[in-house]
Structure 1
């Protein structure tokens, strides 16, 4: 069997920070790199882990952006490299003030890019791994045993479900016969 053509994906990027005032600058930089955002979530508390607090302070909050332009699934490692560079640009004294997590949303799944290896992650090149974060089954996004806790929260699931509706409509419009 020959490889099938891969559908483009919806680029979704989460921004984690203690300093909400950084968001306009970060959002502008993301738009410069990835094009216009078509959806932006509300601020969501990030309180399920203290992992980032030593570096970034607290309390932490996440806001998620969905981008208008679809991207090739094979571009996720490059996108993660670009968002890592953006984290560095907003750092002070080698201390990150934002954590930027890019992901790809498709009708069947949501993937996040990470530099951290684990048994359930697949290397996609350039030291980056794809984390299968959510699967879409029986009409809803479903977490997996390893899904990051903040991605199981109703606000996040609702936002990603809305992004999926927009993505599905765009696919039907773009690929209709």
Structure 2
């Protein structure tokens, strides 16, 4: 028989889609007000993986991924998603989002994104929020699944997630990881 125990904290990460730098700054300020300081951010890059968001947000969408310094409890993911939905709503113009915020949890075992949409690989949490198993950690790196979003398949983003995983392990234990060179040789 398994004995229930509290899961360890996870690193809050967030994908951001936006077109306007001013809206991006407002969303980033609102997110850091809610979730604390950042310890990671990619540079904004053109989002060319799908045109799904163009109808609502227009063409020329940029994407970046951010990570927050303070680990969070896994059970807080629905609350986080509802709060990011609130940021999206406050910054919307005529009912159309100007920014899309996709929060997720990075743990040593997996990366889970929050979603308001049901699908076969998503597990219902509460309050209309589902957990989307996006990446799993095996063989020394995060591995894609058949349904992993194309932007989360990016080798550079997978590399950064590996670094954030090591940082999370350090935050939890206070000990530097034994193996700091990723599989495949030096960085």
TM range, smaller chain: over 0.9
Q: Residues 74-153 of structure 1: matches in 2 within 5 Å?
A: 74-153=75-154
2:51 corresponds to 1:60: no
Q: Deviations over 1:31-82 (max 9, x none)?
A: 1000111111122332111110000011211111111111110010010000
CA–CA separation in structure 2 for the residues paired with 1:88 and 1:51: 19
Q: Over the residues paired in the alignment, what is the CA RMSD in angstroms?
A: 1.2
Q: CA deviation at 1:118?
A: 0.3
Cα separation, 2, equivalents of 1:156 and 1:58: 23
User: Residues of 2 paired with 1:154 and 1:24: CA distance?
Assistant: 26
Cα separation, 1, equivalents of 2:46 and 2:60: 8
Higher strand share: 1
Deviation at 1:165, TM superposition (A): 1.7
1:83-126 Cα shifts (integer Å, max 9, x gaps): 00000011011010000000000001000000010010000100
TM-score normalized with structure 1 length: 0.94
Runs of 5+ unmatched residues, structure 2: 176-187
Q: Secondary structure at the match of 1:70?
A: coil
Q: Distance in 1 between matches of 2:29 and 2:58?
A: 23
Partner deviation per Cα, 1:119-172 (whole Å, 9 max, x = no partner)? 100001000100000011111111000000010012221221221121111111
Taking structure 2 as the reference length, what is the TM-score of the superposition?
0.89
User: 1:155 corresponds to which residue?
Assistant: 156
